[in-house]
Structure 1
Amino acid sequence: MVGLEHERPSEFYLSAWQSTRSSTPLLVWRALLFLASLGIVLTSFIMYILSPIPIGFWFIYLTHWGLTIMLFCTGFAVAVSMRCYFYGPISTEFSLPWYVKTYWVLYNASVPVAFLITVFYWTLLYSAGVSEEIGPVLDVSIHGVNSVIMFLLLASSAHASRLVHLVHPAIFACTYVVFSIIYYFAGGTDPQGNPYVYPMVNWAQPGSTMVVISVTALLLVCLHFVTVGLAAGRNALANRILRPSVTVHVDEDIALRNQTQSAVP
């Protein structure tokens, strides 16, 4: 279960909400989510370029790290769907291709991290007056719309989320913590010249910082469990609503196009 193998590769390019084997619906949907992600990231990046704040500060925030993996996640989702649209289903003879595994890792990390960024910002950073963006509209987009995009990606997928894949968001979070430590001891500052990225993650005060990190880590674990629960609920609800008499995921290697299935009453 820790590994990245799955007996039904079709669940990575077919939605739980469709009763056909066409990869087109999910491809179109994922393309829209990718374009929305790209629009948010480009707008945020361009606003920094146009502002007096040096562009290098864009890369120090956890929010922007989360936006980056969100962009790569939706991009790889589109790539998986496009591959299946043009070349047919993924064979089950061998292990999952690298691009499917890459998408899966990005998905496992980006969904709970997006939820974490939204909760962390609106509960701690917003009240503390921390401003990562130029303008309130963009602020809402990167701290709210990001979670909406990842929720829509989760809700439209079919593959399950595994509890043991908590390791993927955990690695992402640990990487950022290590970065913040290195950034502090290297003399890094926020745009206002303070010796930290976030005031509540100030390594000059390691005790309180470790408390914040521990609570945030616990929240990330909980949000991963929420992600797993949402995925399980999505599949259960889709199966109950569609009530397919013939599952569309059994014959993994049959052609995706010109394939019709008759429903048995």
Structure 2
Amino acid sequence: MPIQDTANIKEKIISIFRIRGPSLPVHIASRIGLSILFTSAFLSELVSDKKIIISNMRVGSSPVYFIPGQESMLERYSQHLKSKEREAFLLLKEKKILNDKKQEPSIRVALRSIRDFAIPFKRDEDIFWRYFTIKESEIKEIPKTIKIIERKIIPKKIEEKQELNIVNKEKPKKKPVKKKISQKKNEKFFNKVKEFLLKKSIEILDIENFNKDDLTLKIKDNGKEQLLIAYNKKRINESDLIKVHKKSLELNLPYILLTLGETPKKLNELINAIKNLSKIEKLE
């Protein structure tokens, strides 16, 4: 294809974006009269030239392309987000700013997946998410508002303590510290499981349960939906195994177990013994 023709096609593609806004490769291909393969090649070149931008989200298997300045128009494709991602999107759109650690684990995972719409930022050591249409100048006002509220509340607490003659000041301080430590441990465990699944290209569909002892997820591995239970301890026992089995029957799903350590020898022997067990009958 002559160089002039290539330049003309690229300019035509840019013109289509100006008229249509964010588009899929199939939309562009139909307008310029080329195959998806050739169209995708042109789009890749335009991305490299920084003339257009490619989205993180996918509609089916295709990304969305758009020209700079059309970011807000990506909202029209939000309907194609997966259920949890859409839930996180709608929550962030409504609240404008979310404190990461105050969200449910499933929402926290989803927020990290919708990078077109959720922009992370830090205040002190906390991670926050802002809706992508919120400007950075608006964010700077948040810490000031919070500090003012704290100043009003703290004196009231001090007065109440004085009235009740509370002398020991160490006890109130210990409780939040424990909570923070517990939250950090839980978060560390959750992230460890998430990284493990990510390495194995396993998709998290939903979070059934999450506490300090275990994490129960619905996952998709090689196209098959399964139940995954991760125990936040090194050794599991028979009761743990029975609990997982009951949950899998309840949801009618095969299950996978994760632990922080090796499976105890006795439990392994029990599992192997059950594999070949046909049935148990009572001798009368």
> TM-score, normalised on structure 1?
0.29
Determine which structure has the larger helix proportion and give its number: 1
**Bigger RCO of structures 1 and 2 (CA < 8 A, at least 6 apart):** 1
Q: Which one has a larger percent strand, Structure 1 or Structure 2?
A: 2
TM-score when normalising by structure 2 = 0.27
Q: For the pair shown, which has the larger CA radius of gyration, 1 or 2?
A: 2
